[in-house]
């Protein structure tokens, strides 16, 4: 639905198509919950995987095989619910495991690329 | 505060002096280089004020301990940048020293001059990434410099007690640093908020 002018007055509104933002599509996932099958959940899983909240060794039925091994399905499963809880805890938010507005808003915000589980930079070091 | 796995830090004989240099290519052209360098000088200085570590800018990028660069897209470190917003920058844990900023962002030092709704404060991000280069991971404290996100057109320059305590666990305290000055400033902010609530 198109934005109303009243709701879109923030100068840095990440949901505005003119502003974009890599994770603007997450807005459509507000209130998605366990058991849902919703377009965009796979992208959210990729986000959570990238920042260290979803393990890379998920069983095959939870993700579609791909060359990079990171193509997730659109199913809101218990693993995602637990990843959302971990995300909320690491970001100092109320831990609900739900994709409430505050959580999705936080996920849409621009951020540092270092993961939140403190492992990736270590891996970079070993590559060096 | 949090540390990277294994709690790495720069292990040098005291006094610790670290050099930093700027990648010669890909420099952003809409902010004078001298102003970018000055912003980084202030960002490094913020951390140097709380720990016994000094930072010196050098011309020789490849020989510097800390290598600062503006890069876009896939730039060869396995962590490609993703265009406007999304990931703004990243850095590596000690003693790797690489600090990368996404050229696709609209970097700003002065929001009066830069009116873009997606402008990102360069000095705030530099201060955060230097925290990583020195060994701090992301903090869950929203007010801390080491909190992972920063919205456009927002400046966050002041070290929080959480940042200071974490960094001092890695390097010790700068003998000239006084924790009570930080606390006084926090108390004064709290008092101002209190006054507003009272009114």
Q: Quick check: A29 and A98 in contact, CB under 8 A?
A: no
Give the Cβ contact number of residue B9 at 10 Å. 21
B56 forms beta bridges with B19
pLDDT tier at B123, thresholds 50, 70, 90: very high
Which pLDDT score is estimated for A5?
36
Which pLDDT score is estimated for A19?
52
Which pLDDT score is estimated for B199?
24
Which pLDDT score is estimated for A119?
58
Q: Is B162 exposed, middle or buried (0-12, 13-18, 19+ CB in 10 A)?
A: buried
Q: Residues of chain A whose C-beta is under 8 A from some C-beta in B?
A: 11-14, 16, 18-23, 51, 89-92, 106, 109-114, 116, 118-122, 124-125, 127-128
pLDDT tens string B84-99: 999 999 999 999 999 9
ipTM of predicted assembly, 2 dp: 0.91
State the Cα–Cα distance between residues B121 and B111, nearest whole angstrom: 8
Please choose, from the candidates A58, A33, A34, A35, the residue with its C-alpha nearest in 3D space to the C-alpha of residue A46.
A58
Mean pLDDT, chain B, rounded, equals: 91
Residue B8 has pLDDT above 70, yes or no: yes
Give Dmax (Cα) for chain A: 51
Catalytic residue among B95, B129, B143, B186: B129
Which pLDDT score is estimated for B188?
52
Instruction: Give the residues of chain A that fall short of pLDDT 50.
Output: 1-12, 16-18, 59-68, 121-128
Vertex B93 angle, CA A88 and A70, to 5°: 55
């Amino acid at each position: 639905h198109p934005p109303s002018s009243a709701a879109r007055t923030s100068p840095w509104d990440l949901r505005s198509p003119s502003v974009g933002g890599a994770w603007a599509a997450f807005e459509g996932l507000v209130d998605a919950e366990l058991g849902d099958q919703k377009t965009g959940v796979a992208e959210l899983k990729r986000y959570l995987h990238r920042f260290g909240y979803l393990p890379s060794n998920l069983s095959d039925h939870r993700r579609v095989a791909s060359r990079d091994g990171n193509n997730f399905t659109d199913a809101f499963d218990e693993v995602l619910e637990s990843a959302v809880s971990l995300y909320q805890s690491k970001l100092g938010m109320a831990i609900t495991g739900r994709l409430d507005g505050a959580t999705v808003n936080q996920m849409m915000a621009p951020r540092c690329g270092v993961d939140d589980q403190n492992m990736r930079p270590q891996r970079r070091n070993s590559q060096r | 505060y949090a540390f990277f796995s294994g709690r790495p830090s720069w292990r040098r004989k005291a006094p610790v002096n670290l050099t930093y240099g700027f990648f010669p290519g890909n420099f952003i052209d809409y902010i004078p280089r001298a102003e970018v360098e000055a912003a980084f000088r202030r960002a490094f200085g913020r951390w140097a004020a709380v720990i016994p570590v000094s930072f010196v800018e050098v011309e020789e990028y490849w020989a510097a301990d800390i290598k600062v660069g503006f890069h876009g897209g896939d730039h060869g470190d396995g962590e490609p940048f993703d265009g406007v917003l999304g990931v703004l920058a990243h850095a590596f844990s000690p003693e790797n020293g690489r600090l990368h900023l996404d050229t696709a962002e609209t970097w700003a030092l002065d929001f009066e001059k830069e009116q873009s709704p997606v402008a990102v404060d360069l000095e705030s991000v530099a201060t955060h990434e230097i925290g990583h280069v020195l060994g701090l991971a992301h903090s869950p404290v929203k007010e801390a410099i080491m909190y992972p996100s920063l919205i456009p057109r927002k400046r966050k320059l002041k070290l929080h007690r959480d940042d200071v305590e974490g960094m001092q666990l890695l390097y010790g305290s700068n003998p000239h640093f006084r924790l009570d000055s930080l606390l006084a400033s926090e108390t004064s902010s709290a008092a101002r908020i209190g006054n507003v609530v009272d009114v």
